[in-house]
Amino acid sequence: MHKTAFIWTDEYYNYSFPDYHPFKSLRESMTKRLLEERSAFHFITLIEPKPISEEVLQLVHSKEYIEFVKYKSKEGQGYLDDGDTPAFKGIYEAALIRISGSVKALELIKGGEFNHAINIGGGFHHAKRNRAAGFCVFNDVALVAKLGENSFSKIAIVDIDGHHADGTQELLIDDDKVLKISLHMFHPNFFPGSGDVNEIGVGKGEGYTINIPLPPGTGDDGYLLAFDEIVIPVIERYKPELIILITGGDSHFNDPLVELKLSTHGYLDVVAKVHHLAHKYSSGRLIMLGGGGYNYDATARIWTISIAEIAGIYDLEYETLHDPFSTKSSKFVMEKIRSTIDRIKKIHSLN
């Protein structure tokens, strides 16, 4: 059993886009219900976040952009970007409390009372300094990393969302205190269009960005091969004092927006490996955030299983949430994955 906090407020429900938009807070409510049905909160502590100040938010976002979001929040119409992230009345407050939950997770880890803190309401890795993107208004991943630098000299971000963590990469591009690892689907015309292996950071941050672009059709076997061959040796070499895990559910084979083929079994293997690395190198300090995931049932099951693993309460009650099978990559896809692994190893001197 590990001392684990679950950051939650019912205000999270307010961050849910209208009409037929794929981002709905149903994912979070389904996850909480699955945990409650298994009495998880007898072992996991519920903690309510409080809104952070604008001053804290300005560590990663410009004052002009924050004012723009507040204006659109009052207006309640139009978009915060080029058409992916609609404005609605109250979106500023809805986004702020979600980001505040991730900051609260960091505060709990820093305080030492908890070694694991979970905010499934976070994981907004597309937001940039001056604009929203990909359903993300404010970037809590980069914010938590920047705040964490006050207490930890080496932080690792491991992002397994199906889309590239472009906002996080951009905001921390020259930061040598944060190792940024993103595993994501990559092919022409797929959002956000970045995340190839040659994007490695700039200035002091050169070498601290590691992108693992995966082809459509990547199953559990190919995904875990890339993870074992790249992520594990990189983390072992870096030895972070804190790990931030973004657990977007859109790498699942049933996700409507991404064409990766991870099953719940693959997700559990990855999360268990990250959990082990946190205890081996980071004194157990692990923050789990949410992210994407547009098949709500699959995402809720992924998050519930992952939380149980991190909290040390995974048992037969959670086994019932698994997909009935693991997934395999085709021979063609495996060849592409191996080629990508070889390129990454050469760039980052992992041979």
In DSSP terms, which residues pair with 316 in a beta bridge? none
Pick the catalytic residue from 61, 125, 126, 252.
126
Q: Hey, CA dihedral for 168, 295, 92, 147, is it positive or negative?
A: negative
Note the helical H segments in 13-130.
26-37, 54-57, 63-75, 91-111
Residue 146 corresponds to which tokens in the numbers above? 């920047």
126 is annotated as an active-site residue: yes
Q: What angle do CA 171, 165, 199 make, to 5 degrees?
A: 75
In angstroms, the Cα distances linking 248 to 25, 39, 144, 317, 332 are: 14, 24, 17, 22, 26
Residue 214 corresponds to which tokens in the numbers above? 């995966």
Residues 6+ apart with CB under 8 A from 278: 115, 116, 243, 284, 285, 286
Q: Could you list the active site residues?
A: 126
